[in-house]
Structure formats: structure tokens, C-alpha cells
């Protein structure tokens, strides 16, 4: 060890990380981050990382908010029903329902639950299809890029002087 790593910088000196080296797919030798391709790739990767982190945080926030809203709504409904039932009991109101009303409410609830489940299936199917389409586009883009690379290599080899 040379000890430079552990020296404290002067106040007017800024510590900067050493230049990272990025291997370009086009060549087998390493290049510094000063070329246009490495700078572009590094910039994109940094942006993608920030977007990935942001998306994960947003999804977690959405999930937490949704859970709190459902809990709050559930508590509100149960509290309201309990208060109304208590008042009805104290006042002596008969709150029995006819069988037809119970059946109608039950049928409406079942229809609504089925509609929610059907909607969820449609949305999930759309998501699955979209994901598959993006995967297909990605595979085709890779194949197209490989074909383009092969064409470029063919042109270069055709025009490259032979010794």
C-alpha cells in the first residue's frame, strides 16, 4: 500500500473517484470514460438506476397509501354500522329486512365482485400481453442490432486492405 488512499485531502482539494473503465462491445480493449460511447452509456446507466429506484419507491408509496385508504374506509364503514345499530337498538327500531331485500343486496354484491374480478383479469391480461410485446420488441431489436453489426463488419472486411 502506498498510503495515499488514507491521506486527508486539503480543504481546497476535492476528492474524486478514479476514472472507471468501460469495455465497449465493439472492441476487446478497454477504453477510458472520455469517449462518446462510454460517456453516453455511463450517463444512461446512471439515469436508469435513478428511475429504477424512483419506480420502486413510488410503487411502495402507492401500495402503502392504498393499504391505508382501504383500512380507513373499512374502519369508517364498520364504525358507522356499529353506531347505527346501537342507535336502532336503543330506540327500539326493528331493522330486520325482508328476504327479497337480502337476496337483492347479496346478488348486487356478487355481481359487483364478479365485475371487479373480471376487470382485474382484463387488466392483468393486458399487462401480460404488453410485457410479451416489449420482450418481443427487445428480442427483435437485439437481432436487428446483431444483423447491423454483421453488415458493418462485412463492409469493413471488404474495404480493409489485406496484407
Same domain, 48 and 83: yes
| Among 48, 81, 96, residue at a domain's last position | 96
So what's the pLDDT on residue 34?
82
Handedness of CA 149, 153, 155, 159 (dihedral sign): positive
Would you say residue 12 has pLDDT above 70?
no
Structural domain for 85, as ranges: 17-96
Same domain, 65 and 41: yes
Same domain, 163 and 108: yes
pLDDT digit string, tens, across residues 76-93: 999 999 999 999 999 999
Q: Please give the Cα distance from 80 to 16 (Å, whole number).
A: 62
Same domain, 31 and 86: yes
Q: Is residue 53 part of a domain?
A: yes
Neighbouring C-beta atoms of residue 31, cutoff 10 Å: 14
- Is the pTM higher than 0.95? The answer reads no
Q: Looking at residues 116-145, what average pLDDT do you find?
A: 94
So what's the pLDDT on residue 158?
78
Q: Please give the Cα distance from 99 to 102 (Å, whole number).
A: 5
Amino acid at each position: 500500500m502506498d498510503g495515499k488512499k488514507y491521506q486527508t485531502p486539503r480543504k481546497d482539494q476535492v476528492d474524486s473517484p478514479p476514472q472507471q473503465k468501460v469495455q465497449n462491445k465493439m472492441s476487446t480493449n478497454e477504453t477510458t470514460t472520455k469517449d462518446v460511447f462510454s460517456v453516453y452509456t455511463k450517463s444512461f446507466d446512471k439515469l436508469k438506476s435513478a428511475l429504477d429506484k424512483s419506480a420502486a419507491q413510488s410503487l411502495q408509496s402507492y401500495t402503502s397509501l392504498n393499504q391505508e385508504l382501504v383500512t380507513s374506509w373499512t374502519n369508517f364503514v364498520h364504525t358507522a354500522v356499529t353506531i347505527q345499530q346501537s342507535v336502532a337498538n336503543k330506540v327500539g327500531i326493528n331493522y330486520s329486512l325482508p328476504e327479497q331485500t337480502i337476496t337483492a343486496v347479496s346478488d348486487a354484491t356478487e355481481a359487483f365482485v364478479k365485475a371487479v374480478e373480471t376487470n382485474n383479469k382484463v387488466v392483468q391480461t393486458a399487462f401480460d400481453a404488453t410485457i410479451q410485446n416489449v420482450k418481443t420488441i427487445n428480442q427483435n431489436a437485439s437481432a436487428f442490432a446483431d444483423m447491423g453489426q454483421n453488415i458493418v463488419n462485412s463492409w469493413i472486411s471488404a474495404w480493409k486492405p489485406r496484407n
